[in-house]
Amino acid sequence: MSTPTATPAEPMSTPRPAPSAPPPGELKTKRKHAHFRWSVPLGWLVFGLLLIGIWEICATTGVVNPVYFGQPSLIVQSLFQNLFGELLYVHTVATFTGVILGWLLASALGIAAALALSASPYLLKVIEPYFTMANSLPRVALAPLFLLWFGLGVEAKVALAFSLAFFVVFSNTLAGVQSAESERRLLARVLGASKIQTFRKFVLPGAVPGIFTGLELGFIFGMLAAVAGEMLAGRAGLGVQLQFYANSFRMNDYFATLIILVTGTMLFSWLLRTIRRRLLRWQEAAETE
Amino acid sequence: MSSPSMSAPERLGPPRGARIEVSDVYQYFASPGKEPVLAVDTTSLVIEPGEFVCFVGPSGCGKTTVLNQIAGLVKPTGGTVTLDGKTAKEGRPDVGYLLARDGLLPWRTALGNVMLPMELRGTPRAEAEHRAAGMLETVGLGKFLHSYPSQLSHGMRQRTALSRTLVVEPTTILMDEPFSALDAETRLRLQGVFLKLWEHHRSSVCFVTHDLSEAIVMADRILVFGARPGKIIADYRINLERPRNVLELQENDQYHHYFQEIWSVLRKELAAA
Ligand SMILES: Nc1ncnc2c1ncn2[C@@H]1O[C@H](COP(=O)(O)OP(=O)(O)O)[C@@H](O)[C@H]1O
Ligand SMILES: [Mg+2]
């Protein structure tokens, strides 16, 4: 190859101080949106307070009727009154116990079923239409049936949460397992991996993100089903209370119950996401690229 | 890059590879609702122990198919393929296989990916880790042992895949256009890295490429495949001195002579394909 002689851009006799580059360490640690670190949470706070403020003013001036819409200051008051009372200890515990049990059962069985069926394309094909049918059914329509079968206790909540969460976990796990590229399976063959090794080292780790998506969505759907069931009938539960408060025009208690529901669900989702982040550091690595 | 003063040629290692024998092999591929396709017409070839053989030819002429027959991934419709007298079968521990796409597992670090083949064979963890780290060091990735594939450049990923293939010191190495997805500069670098390792280990290599200059730089022998149905139509011996320097060869007269000679044959096949 010919190497053309480069002509120096500047005569050597006039040395200039080289522009000093920043030390590389600083560049790396500087986040892309570092300047948002404080302004975003501040924005959340301002936006929230603004909405609550408008609501409060509308309620006190009678622009909206607080009998139907509640009033923020009274909602907060209700929340504190209930915080260590029956609402929290009896009803919150009842709802979350039911949902978590149903979700745990759905997760265990959903993951197991997906992994087992992924090994047999034939069985999967046979079962597929039935699964689609069951999954197309609006599960809340089963609530009266489950209440009849399982009574007004925790069992009906477990069954309802399970009926929705199971399919969500199942289908996300299956998608995760099937996402293993054919190239990855070829590599397993070439390296002489046994069937079990192929599954454990080449397929399963790739399915973990899908499984976690299933677990997170499964919990939210399980909560939906259980609360809907409680609103129909039940001895205890946040859904039972929602129905009761609405019927007796106790809107402030109603909204306080909603806040407990949302906070609990968000806490649980946050817990799952934290575990996910721990387990899937390789995905984080891809995202920060 | 080596300076001229350093080029007191290191000695080649003794050949350690397997003898690969492909006899009267042909391959039909059946696809539902269509006539079976003759991908490879009756073909024979022998790769001597420690020989570096390149397959070149237009795409679709059966190079990958023959490679996969040797790997045991495709069972020939007729004929036999043996490695040191034993019928080819997939997953042999003494056969290494590398594709254009790295196939790295994204949830494993570079080190974890290179440890994988040893892990599958039950090599003690400490030993596997030691060997994998050493191998990555050799290909210049000593600083990236704990990086995930998504954090590595294209060339670094392929170097990791190369390490994964070579770390178990296979006596047969099968490569299907391993450097074709890389940019020109990275490709030259990896050719150099691989050539150096091979000159030390001297395993038998079967290397598919569509890049004739790559074939000449690397190979002892070049087999030219003709188009449809696939068949070997020419067999060239490349008598360039070893050890070779990939960069210096680009200016070598003999190299250009080989290129013109083989290109005149290859060009007709490319035009016919
Ligand atoms: N698994 C397969 N099924 C059907 N046809 C195939 C299969 N593999 C290869 N072929 C066909 O065989 C021919 C040779 O393919 P291949 O060996 O991949 O060629 P090359 O590697 O030289 O490009 C092509 O026509 C291709 O379409
Ligand atoms: Mg090919």
Over 60: is that where the pLDDT of A9 sits? no
pLDDT band per the 50, 70, 90 thresholds, residue A112: very high
Domain boundaries, chain B: 20-94+170-272
Nearest CB to A197: which of B95, B120, B150? B120
Percent of chain A with pLDDT strictly greater than 90: 57
Locate the ligand 1 atom nearest the alpha carbon of residue B58 and give its number: 22
Between A182 and B61, whose confidence is greater?
Answer: B61
- Around ion ligand 2, residues with a beta carbon closer than 5 Å are B 64
Q: Whose CA is nearest to atom 2 of ligand 1?
A: B29
Ligand 1 mutation pick, B22, B26, B27, B29, max ligand atoms within 8 A of CB: B29
User: What proportions of chain A, in percent to the nearest 5, are helix, strand and coil?
Assistant: 80, 0, 20
Give the pLDDT score at A289: 47
Sign of the CA dihedral running B256, B262, B265, B266? negative
Per-residue pLDDT averaged across B234-244, rounded? 91
Nearest to B221 by CA among B244, B238, B199, B234: B238
pLDDT at A26 over 60: no
Residue A116 Cα to chain centre, angstroms? 25
In angstroms, how far is CA B235 from the centroid of its own chain? Answer: 17
Given B92, B99, B151, which is nearest A285 (Cβ)?
A: B151
pLDDT digits (tens, 9 = 90+) for B84-138: 999 999 988 899 999 888 999 999 999 999 999 999 999 999 999 999 999 999 9
Minimal Cβ distance to B103: which of A187, A205, A286? A187
> Read out DSSP for A37-70?
HHHHHHHHHHHHHHHHHHHHHHHHHTSS-HHHH-
For residues A192 and B272, the model is more confident at A192
Cα–Cα distance measured from residue B168 to residue B96, given in angstroms and rounded to the nearest whole number: 8
Two structure tokens written together for A281: 């550091």
pLDDT of residue B225 exceeding 90, the answer is yes
Per-residue model confidence (pLDDT) at position A49: 94
How far is it between the farthest Cα atoms of chain B? 64
β-bridge partners, B95: B172
Residue A4 has pLDDT above 60, yes or no: no
| Chain segment A159-177, per-residue pLDDT in tens | 999 999 999 999 999 998 8
| Residue B264 CA to ligand 1 centre (angstroms) | 25
The answer to whether the CB atoms of A184 and B103 lie below 8 A apart is yes
Ligand 1 atom 7 nearest Cα: B29
On whether the B20-94+170-272 domain is CATH 3.40.50.300, my answer is: yes
Q: What is the mean pLDDT of residues B12-27?
A: 89
| Partner-chain contact A282 B71, CB within 8 Å | no
Which pLDDT score, from 0 to 100, does residue B11 have?
A: 65
Of 3.40.50.10190, 2.60.120.310, 3.30.565.10, 1.10.3720.10, the CATH number of A96-279 is 1.10.3720.10
Q: What is the ipTM of this complex?
A: 0.86
pLDDT digits (tens, 9 = 90+) for A257-269: 999 999 999 999 9
